[in-house]
A and B are shown apart, each in its own frame.
Chain A
Amino acid sequence: MPAYSTTLGEHSPAAVVAGILGLLRGETAPSASLEWVTLCTGSARCIPACPEGVNPMLMLRVARIKALGSLGDTAQMALPEDPHYFRKVHAFANMHFTDAEIDAWQR
Protein backbone atom coordinates (compact mmCIF):
# COMPACT_ATOMS: atom_id res chain seq x y z
CA MET A 1 0.00 0.00 0.00
CA PRO A 2 2.83 2.44 -0.82
CA ALA A 3 0.35 4.94 -2.27
CA TYR A 4 -0.73 5.71 1.28
CA SER A 5 2.77 5.87 2.72
CA THR A 6 5.37 8.59 2.43
CA THR A 7 8.23 6.20 3.09
CA LEU A 8 7.27 2.64 2.16
CA GLY A 9 8.01 3.14 -1.52
CA GLU A 10 11.64 3.85 -0.68
CA HIS A 11 12.19 0.31 0.59
CA SER A 12 12.85 -2.83 -1.38
CA PRO A 13 9.61 -4.83 -1.70
CA ALA A 14 11.58 -8.03 -1.13
CA ALA A 15 13.01 -6.65 2.11
CA VAL A 16 9.57 -5.52 3.30
CA VAL A 17 8.09 -8.96 2.60
CA ALA A 18 11.09 -10.68 4.22
CA GLY A 19 10.40 -8.62 7.32
CA ILE A 20 6.82 -9.89 7.35
CA LEU A 21 7.98 -13.49 7.03
CA GLY A 22 10.41 -12.92 9.88
CA LEU A 23 7.64 -11.42 11.96
CA LEU A 24 5.52 -14.51 11.37
CA ARG A 25 8.47 -16.57 12.66
CA GLY A 26 8.60 -14.46 15.81
CA GLU A 27 11.39 -12.12 14.84
CA THR A 28 11.51 -8.38 15.31
CA ALA A 29 10.21 -6.73 12.16
CA PRO A 30 11.83 -3.73 10.47
CA SER A 31 9.81 -0.54 10.66
CA ALA A 32 8.92 -0.64 6.95
CA SER A 33 7.31 -4.06 7.37
CA LEU A 34 5.34 -2.87 10.37
CA GLU A 35 4.23 0.14 8.35
CA TRP A 36 2.91 -2.19 5.66
CA VAL A 37 1.02 -4.13 8.32
CA THR A 38 -0.44 -0.87 9.60
CA LEU A 39 -1.35 0.50 6.19
CA CYS A 40 -2.91 -2.61 4.68
CA THR A 41 -6.48 -1.62 3.88
CA GLY A 42 -7.58 -5.08 2.88
CA SER A 43 -8.23 -4.24 -0.75
CA ALA A 44 -7.55 -7.91 -1.63
CA ARG A 45 -5.87 -6.89 -4.88
CA CYS A 46 -2.81 -8.79 -3.74
CA ILE A 47 -4.57 -12.16 -3.75
CA PRO A 48 -5.04 -12.72 -7.48
CA ALA A 49 -1.71 -11.00 -8.09
CA CYS A 50 0.30 -13.48 -6.05
CA PRO A 51 1.87 -16.13 -8.32
CA GLU A 52 2.55 -18.45 -5.38
CA GLY A 53 -1.04 -19.06 -4.29
CA VAL A 54 -0.57 -17.13 -1.09
CA ASN A 55 -3.28 -14.94 0.40
CA PRO A 56 -1.09 -11.94 1.29
CA MET A 57 -4.02 -10.06 2.83
CA LEU A 58 -4.59 -12.86 5.33
CA MET A 59 -0.84 -13.15 5.82
CA LEU A 60 -0.70 -9.48 6.82
CA ARG A 61 -3.66 -9.95 9.16
CA VAL A 62 -1.85 -12.78 10.93
CA ALA A 63 1.32 -10.67 10.95
CA ARG A 64 -0.65 -7.92 12.63
CA ILE A 65 -1.91 -10.36 15.25
CA LYS A 66 1.69 -11.43 15.85
CA ALA A 67 2.97 -7.85 15.97
CA LEU A 68 0.32 -6.92 18.51
CA GLY A 69 1.72 -9.58 20.81
CA SER A 70 -1.58 -11.39 20.75
CA LEU A 71 0.08 -14.80 20.42
CA GLY A 72 2.45 -14.35 23.31
CA ASP A 73 5.23 -12.59 21.43
CA THR A 74 6.58 -9.21 22.51
CA ALA A 75 4.29 -6.54 21.12
CA GLN A 76 5.90 -4.58 18.28
CA MET A 77 3.01 -2.26 17.60
CA ALA A 78 -0.10 -1.02 19.31
CA LEU A 79 -3.66 -0.98 18.07
CA PRO A 80 -5.86 1.85 19.24
CA GLU A 81 -9.08 0.30 20.53
CA ASP A 82 -12.31 2.02 21.39
CA PRO A 83 -12.85 1.14 25.06
CA HIS A 84 -16.55 1.91 24.59
CA TYR A 85 -16.98 -0.30 21.51
CA PHE A 86 -19.44 -2.80 22.94
CA ARG A 87 -21.18 -0.36 25.24
CA LYS A 88 -21.96 1.79 22.20
CA VAL A 89 -23.42 -1.24 20.47
CA HIS A 90 -25.64 -1.86 23.50
CA ALA A 91 -26.63 1.82 23.62
CA PHE A 92 -27.67 1.94 19.97
CA ALA A 93 -29.51 -1.36 20.29
CA ASN A 94 -31.45 0.10 23.20
CA MET A 95 -32.26 3.16 21.10
CA HIS A 96 -33.54 1.19 18.10
CA PHE A 97 -34.95 -2.07 19.45
CA THR A 98 -37.62 -2.92 21.98
CA ASP A 99 -36.83 -4.93 25.09
CA ALA A 100 -38.65 -7.88 23.55
CA GLU A 101 -36.52 -7.68 20.40
CA ILE A 102 -33.33 -7.46 22.42
CA ASP A 103 -34.40 -10.47 24.49
CA ALA A 104 -35.23 -12.46 21.39
CA TRP A 105 -32.35 -11.38 19.16
CA GLN A 106 -29.40 -10.43 21.35
CA ARG A 107 -29.30 -12.72 24.41
Chain B
Amino acid sequence: MRLPTCTLPMRRSMHGNADGLLMTTESITFWYGCNVVRHGDVVRASIALLEAVGIEVQPAGGPAYCCGTTKDANVRAAEGMAVRTVEKFNAIGKNVVTWCPSCHRHMDSFIGAYTTPQFEVLHITEVLHRHRDRLAAKLIHPIPRRVALHTHMGFREVDVNGLVIDLLRLIPGLEIAEVEDAAPAHMCSALAALPDVMAKVTHSHVEMAKRAGAQDLVTIFHSCQRLLCGLAATQPFGVVNYVSLLARAMGMALKDEYTAWKIAPCENDAVAMIGPERIKRAGAEFFNKQVLPEIRRKPRIR
Protein backbone atom coordinates (compact mmCIF):
# COMPACT_ATOMS: atom_id res chain seq x y z
CA MET B 1 0.00 0.00 0.00
CA ARG B 2 1.59 3.24 -1.11
CA LEU B 3 0.47 6.46 0.47
CA PRO B 4 1.14 9.94 -0.83
CA THR B 5 4.25 11.77 0.17
CA CYS B 6 3.59 14.66 2.50
CA THR B 7 6.31 16.85 1.10
CA LEU B 8 5.59 19.49 -1.46
CA PRO B 9 5.09 19.78 -4.33
CA MET B 10 1.87 17.81 -4.26
CA ARG B 11 1.13 15.57 -7.22
CA ARG B 12 0.24 17.62 -10.21
CA SER B 13 1.17 15.31 -13.05
CA MET B 14 -2.33 14.24 -13.97
CA HIS B 15 -3.75 17.72 -13.70
CA GLY B 16 -4.16 19.86 -16.71
CA ASN B 17 -3.15 23.40 -17.19
CA ALA B 18 -6.28 25.48 -16.93
CA ASP B 19 -5.16 27.49 -19.92
CA GLY B 20 -4.24 24.46 -21.98
CA LEU B 21 -6.65 21.64 -21.26
CA LEU B 22 -9.84 21.65 -23.29
CA MET B 23 -8.28 23.80 -25.97
CA THR B 24 -8.66 20.79 -28.22
CA THR B 25 -10.75 18.45 -26.11
CA GLU B 26 -14.36 19.54 -26.08
CA SER B 27 -15.85 16.24 -24.94
CA ILE B 28 -15.44 15.40 -21.28
CA THR B 29 -16.63 13.17 -18.47
CA PHE B 30 -18.38 15.30 -15.85
CA TRP B 31 -17.61 13.54 -12.58
CA TYR B 32 -20.18 15.04 -10.26
CA GLY B 33 -19.51 12.81 -7.25
CA CYS B 34 -21.88 11.25 -4.73
CA ASN B 35 -23.54 13.64 -2.32
CA VAL B 36 -24.44 16.28 -4.88
CA VAL B 37 -27.28 13.99 -5.98
CA ARG B 38 -29.28 15.55 -3.15
CA HIS B 39 -29.38 18.58 -5.44
CA GLY B 40 -30.59 17.39 -8.82
CA ASP B 41 -30.87 21.02 -9.89
CA VAL B 42 -27.16 21.56 -9.27
CA VAL B 43 -26.23 18.55 -11.40
CA ARG B 44 -28.54 19.65 -14.20
CA ALA B 45 -27.36 23.26 -14.04
CA SER B 46 -23.73 22.16 -14.19
CA ILE B 47 -24.36 20.00 -17.24
CA ALA B 48 -26.28 22.83 -18.92
CA LEU B 49 -23.49 25.33 -18.25
CA LEU B 50 -20.82 23.04 -19.64
CA GLU B 51 -22.94 22.39 -22.71
CA ALA B 52 -23.63 26.10 -23.06
CA VAL B 53 -19.92 26.78 -23.52
CA GLY B 54 -19.71 24.14 -26.22
CA ILE B 55 -18.57 21.07 -24.32
CA GLU B 56 -20.04 17.64 -24.91
CA VAL B 57 -20.78 16.19 -21.48
CA GLN B 58 -20.91 12.58 -20.29
CA PRO B 59 -22.12 12.78 -16.67
CA ALA B 60 -20.83 10.17 -14.20
CA GLY B 61 -21.41 9.94 -10.49
CA GLY B 62 -23.01 8.17 -7.58
CA PRO B 63 -21.53 5.32 -5.54
CA ALA B 64 -20.41 3.42 -8.66
CA TYR B 65 -17.97 6.27 -9.30
CA CYS B 66 -16.89 6.80 -5.69
CA CYS B 67 -13.39 8.20 -5.23
CA GLY B 68 -12.99 6.43 -1.90
CA THR B 69 -12.28 9.53 0.14
CA THR B 70 -14.90 8.61 2.72
CA LYS B 71 -13.07 5.40 3.57
CA ASP B 72 -10.09 6.59 5.58
CA ALA B 73 -10.90 3.88 8.11
CA ASN B 74 -10.58 1.22 5.42
CA VAL B 75 -7.92 2.17 2.94
CA ARG B 76 -8.23 -1.19 1.15
CA ALA B 77 -11.85 -0.42 0.37
CA ALA B 78 -10.91 3.12 -0.65
CA GLU B 79 -8.28 1.74 -2.99
CA GLY B 80 -10.75 -0.65 -4.58
CA MET B 81 -13.27 2.13 -5.14
CA ALA B 82 -10.68 4.45 -6.60
CA VAL B 83 -9.22 1.84 -8.93
CA ARG B 84 -12.66 0.86 -10.19
CA THR B 85 -13.57 4.48 -10.86
CA VAL B 86 -10.30 5.29 -12.62
CA GLU B 87 -10.63 2.16 -14.78
CA LYS B 88 -14.07 3.35 -15.88
CA PHE B 89 -12.76 6.80 -16.71
CA ASN B 90 -9.79 5.29 -18.56
CA ALA B 91 -12.25 3.19 -20.59
CA ILE B 92 -14.36 6.25 -21.43
CA GLY B 93 -11.20 7.86 -22.71
CA LYS B 94 -12.08 11.49 -22.06
CA ASN B 95 -10.63 14.07 -19.74
CA VAL B 96 -12.49 14.49 -16.47
CA VAL B 97 -14.13 17.61 -15.09
CA THR B 98 -14.84 17.42 -11.37
CA TRP B 99 -17.54 19.02 -9.27
CA CYS B 100 -16.73 17.76 -5.79
CA PRO B 101 -13.61 19.19 -4.09
CA SER B 102 -13.18 15.97 -2.09
CA CYS B 103 -13.10 13.87 -5.26
CA HIS B 104 -10.78 16.39 -6.91
CA ARG B 105 -8.41 16.38 -3.94
CA HIS B 106 -8.49 12.62 -3.54
CA MET B 107 -7.62 12.21 -7.21
CA ASP B 108 -4.80 14.68 -6.73
CA SER B 109 -3.36 13.33 -3.51
CA PHE B 110 -4.19 9.63 -3.24
CA ILE B 111 -5.56 7.92 -6.32
CA GLY B 112 -2.37 8.36 -8.31
CA ALA B 113 -0.67 6.22 -5.66
CA TYR B 114 -3.08 3.35 -6.36
CA THR B 115 -3.43 3.37 -10.12
CA THR B 116 -2.61 5.25 -13.30
CA PRO B 117 -5.24 7.69 -14.53
CA GLN B 118 -5.00 8.16 -18.30
CA PHE B 119 -6.83 11.43 -18.34
CA GLU B 120 -6.43 14.96 -17.16
CA VAL B 121 -8.52 16.47 -14.43
CA LEU B 122 -9.90 19.98 -14.13
CA HIS B 123 -12.44 21.45 -11.78
CA ILE B 124 -15.68 22.77 -13.27
CA THR B 125 -14.90 26.30 -12.07
CA GLU B 126 -11.68 26.25 -14.10
CA VAL B 127 -13.49 25.06 -17.22
CA LEU B 128 -16.33 27.58 -16.98
CA HIS B 129 -13.86 30.34 -16.23
CA ARG B 130 -11.71 29.30 -19.17
CA HIS B 131 -14.79 29.66 -21.40
CA ARG B 132 -16.28 32.66 -19.63
CA ASP B 133 -16.58 34.69 -22.83
CA ARG B 134 -18.81 32.02 -24.33
CA LEU B 135 -20.74 31.77 -21.09
CA ALA B 136 -21.25 35.53 -20.79
CA ALA B 137 -22.97 35.57 -24.17
CA LYS B 138 -25.59 33.16 -22.80
CA LEU B 139 -26.29 35.06 -19.58
CA ILE B 140 -28.95 37.37 -20.92
CA HIS B 141 -31.50 37.33 -18.10
CA PRO B 142 -30.70 39.90 -15.41
CA ILE B 143 -30.80 38.89 -11.76
CA PRO B 144 -31.19 42.15 -9.83
CA ARG B 145 -30.18 40.85 -6.42
CA ARG B 146 -27.42 41.57 -3.92
CA VAL B 147 -25.50 38.46 -2.90
CA ALA B 148 -22.62 37.46 -0.65
CA LEU B 149 -20.36 34.52 -1.46
CA HIS B 150 -19.88 31.81 1.17
CA THR B 151 -16.24 30.78 0.88
CA HIS B 152 -13.86 28.25 2.36
CA MET B 153 -10.11 28.48 2.56
CA GLY B 154 -9.13 24.82 2.40
CA PHE B 155 -9.41 23.89 -1.29
CA ARG B 156 -5.92 24.99 -2.27
CA GLU B 157 -5.86 22.89 -5.43
CA VAL B 158 -8.11 25.35 -7.27
CA ASP B 159 -8.77 29.06 -6.61
CA VAL B 160 -12.50 28.42 -6.59
CA ASN B 161 -13.37 31.55 -4.62
CA GLY B 162 -11.79 33.88 -7.15
CA LEU B 163 -13.06 31.92 -10.14
CA VAL B 164 -16.65 31.88 -8.87
CA ILE B 165 -16.58 35.62 -8.11
CA ASP B 166 -15.47 36.19 -11.70
CA LEU B 167 -18.28 33.97 -12.99
CA LEU B 168 -20.91 35.69 -10.87
CA ARG B 169 -19.74 39.04 -12.24
CA LEU B 170 -20.92 37.85 -15.66
CA ILE B 171 -24.56 37.86 -14.52
CA PRO B 172 -26.29 41.09 -15.51
CA GLY B 173 -27.84 42.93 -12.61
CA LEU B 174 -26.20 40.85 -9.90
CA GLU B 175 -24.53 42.86 -7.16
CA ILE B 176 -21.83 41.02 -5.27
CA ALA B 177 -21.09 42.26 -1.76
CA GLU B 178 -17.44 42.38 -0.83
CA VAL B 179 -16.99 40.11 2.15
CA GLU B 180 -13.96 38.38 3.58
CA ASP B 181 -14.88 35.64 5.97
CA ALA B 182 -13.61 32.37 4.54
CA ALA B 183 -14.50 29.35 6.61
CA PRO B 184 -12.00 26.61 7.47
CA ALA B 185 -12.11 23.31 5.60
CA HIS B 186 -12.66 22.82 1.88
CA MET B 187 -16.44 22.70 2.26
CA CYS B 188 -18.96 22.56 5.08
CA SER B 189 -19.27 18.78 5.29
CA ALA B 190 -15.67 18.62 6.51
CA LEU B 191 -16.85 20.49 9.60
CA ALA B 192 -19.87 18.29 10.25
CA ALA B 193 -17.87 16.04 12.56
CA LEU B 194 -17.10 19.12 14.66
CA PRO B 195 -20.59 20.46 15.32
CA ASP B 196 -19.49 23.30 17.59
CA VAL B 197 -17.07 24.53 14.93
CA MET B 198 -19.75 24.20 12.28
CA ALA B 199 -22.15 26.24 14.42
CA LYS B 200 -19.54 28.97 14.90
CA VAL B 201 -18.83 29.12 11.19
CA THR B 202 -22.52 29.20 10.34
CA HIS B 203 -23.18 31.96 12.84
CA SER B 204 -20.29 33.97 11.47
CA HIS B 205 -21.59 33.67 7.91
CA VAL B 206 -25.13 34.54 8.93
CA GLU B 207 -23.86 37.73 10.51
CA MET B 208 -21.64 38.42 7.50
CA ALA B 209 -24.56 38.06 5.11
CA LYS B 210 -26.72 40.33 7.23
CA ARG B 211 -24.01 43.01 7.50
CA ALA B 212 -23.59 42.87 3.74
CA GLY B 213 -27.30 43.33 3.21
CA ALA B 214 -27.29 40.21 1.04
CA GLN B 215 -30.53 38.89 -0.35
CA ASP B 216 -28.83 35.58 -1.03
CA LEU B 217 -25.87 33.73 0.41
CA VAL B 218 -24.21 32.02 -2.54
CA THR B 219 -22.61 28.63 -2.00
CA ILE B 220 -19.90 27.07 -4.15
CA PHE B 221 -20.15 23.43 -3.12
CA HIS B 222 -23.03 21.04 -2.63
CA SER B 223 -22.39 20.26 1.02
CA CYS B 224 -22.46 23.96 1.87
CA GLN B 225 -25.78 24.22 0.04
CA ARG B 226 -27.06 21.14 1.87
CA LEU B 227 -25.99 22.30 5.32
CA LEU B 228 -26.80 25.99 5.00
CA CYS B 229 -29.95 26.12 2.86
CA GLY B 230 -32.15 25.68 5.93
CA LEU B 231 -31.09 29.17 7.04
CA ALA B 232 -33.61 30.52 4.57
CA ALA B 233 -36.36 29.42 6.97
CA THR B 234 -35.25 31.84 9.68
CA GLN B 235 -32.88 34.40 8.17
CA PRO B 236 -33.56 37.39 5.94
CA PHE B 237 -31.73 35.89 2.97
CA GLY B 238 -31.90 32.88 0.70
CA VAL B 239 -29.17 30.31 0.10
CA VAL B 240 -28.41 29.47 -3.50
CA ASN B 241 -25.63 27.70 -5.36
CA TYR B 242 -23.63 29.66 -7.92
CA VAL B 243 -24.46 27.28 -10.78
CA SER B 244 -28.15 27.80 -10.05
CA LEU B 245 -27.67 31.55 -10.44
CA LEU B 246 -25.73 31.12 -13.68
CA ALA B 247 -28.37 28.75 -15.06
CA ARG B 248 -31.12 31.17 -14.04
CA ALA B 249 -29.31 33.93 -15.91
CA MET B 250 -29.37 31.64 -18.96
CA GLY B 251 -33.13 31.41 -18.62
CA MET B 252 -33.29 27.97 -17.06
CA ALA B 253 -35.92 27.48 -14.38
CA LEU B 254 -34.49 24.77 -12.15
CA LYS B 255 -36.24 24.40 -8.83
CA ASP B 256 -34.04 23.87 -5.77
CA GLU B 257 -36.24 21.14 -4.35
CA TYR B 258 -33.94 20.08 -1.52
CA THR B 259 -34.09 23.58 -0.08
CA ALA B 260 -37.85 23.79 -0.62
CA TRP B 261 -38.30 20.52 1.27
CA LYS B 262 -36.05 21.66 4.10
CA ILE B 263 -37.70 25.03 4.66
CA ALA B 264 -41.27 23.84 4.15
CA PRO B 265 -43.34 25.01 7.15
CA CYS B 266 -43.98 21.50 8.41
CA GLU B 267 -43.02 17.91 7.71
CA ASN B 268 -46.35 17.10 6.10
CA ASP B 269 -45.83 19.92 3.63
CA ALA B 270 -42.38 18.59 2.75
CA VAL B 271 -43.71 15.07 2.28
CA ALA B 272 -46.49 16.38 0.06
CA MET B 273 -43.97 18.31 -2.06
CA ILE B 274 -41.82 15.22 -2.50
CA GLY B 275 -44.81 13.12 -3.42
CA PRO B 276 -45.59 9.41 -3.00
CA GLU B 277 -43.92 8.31 -6.22
CA ARG B 278 -40.50 9.64 -5.25
CA ILE B 279 -40.85 8.37 -1.70
CA LYS B 280 -41.55 4.94 -3.15
CA ARG B 281 -38.48 5.21 -5.37
CA ALA B 282 -36.35 6.05 -2.32
CA GLY B 283 -37.90 3.18 -0.35
CA ALA B 284 -40.68 4.32 1.96
CA GLU B 285 -39.30 2.88 5.19
CA PHE B 286 -35.78 4.12 4.49
CA PHE B 287 -37.16 7.49 3.48
CA ASN B 288 -39.02 7.90 6.75
CA LYS B 289 -36.15 6.70 8.95
CA GLN B 290 -33.13 8.23 7.23
CA VAL B 291 -33.97 10.61 4.42
CA LEU B 292 -36.74 12.73 5.86
CA PRO B 293 -34.97 13.43 9.17
CA GLU B 294 -31.94 14.69 7.21
CA ILE B 295 -34.10 16.84 4.98
CA ARG B 296 -35.86 18.43 7.92
CA ARG B 297 -32.71 19.04 10.02
CA LYS B 298 -31.93 22.76 10.28
CA PRO B 299 -28.50 24.34 10.66
CA ARG B 300 -27.28 25.16 14.15
CA ILE B 301 -25.97 28.68 14.56
CA ARG B 302 -25.20 28.68 18.30
CB within 8 Å of B: which residues of A?
Answer: 1, 4, 39, 41-45, 47, 53-59, 61-62, 64-65, 68-71, 79-81, 84-97, 101-102, 104-107
Contacts and interface: CB of A to CB of B under 8 A. Distances in A.
A93 B7 contact: no
B72 interface: yes
A71 B65 contact: no
B180 to A, nearest CB: 14
B154 A43 contact: yes
Contacts of A87: 286, 290
A47 B156 contact: yes
Interface of B: 1, 3-4, 6-8, 10, 34-35, 37-40, 43, 59-66, 70, 72-76, 109, 153-156, 184-186, 190-191, 193-194, 196-197, 257, 274, 278, 281-283, 286-287, 290-291, 294
B197 A41 contact: yes
A91 B283 contact: yes
Given A85-B70, A106-B61, A107-B64, A55 B6 contact: yes
A17 B99 CA distance: 33
Nearest to A57: B154
B154 A42 contact: yes
Contact of B3 (A42, A62, A105): A62
B282 A94 contact: yes
B185 A55 contact: no
A47 B191 CA distance: 19
A89 B153 contact: no
B282 A92 contact: yes
Contacts of B197: 4, 41
A54 to B, nearest CB: 6
B74 A42 contact: no
Contacts of A62: 3-4, 6
Contact of A59 (B6, B43, B60): B6
B155 to A, nearest CB: 8
A33 B4 CA distance: 21
A38 B262 CA distance: 30
B7 A53 contact: yes
Contacts of B286: 84, 87, 91
A87 B63 CA distance: 9
Contacts of A71: 1, 3, 75
A54 B7 contact: yes
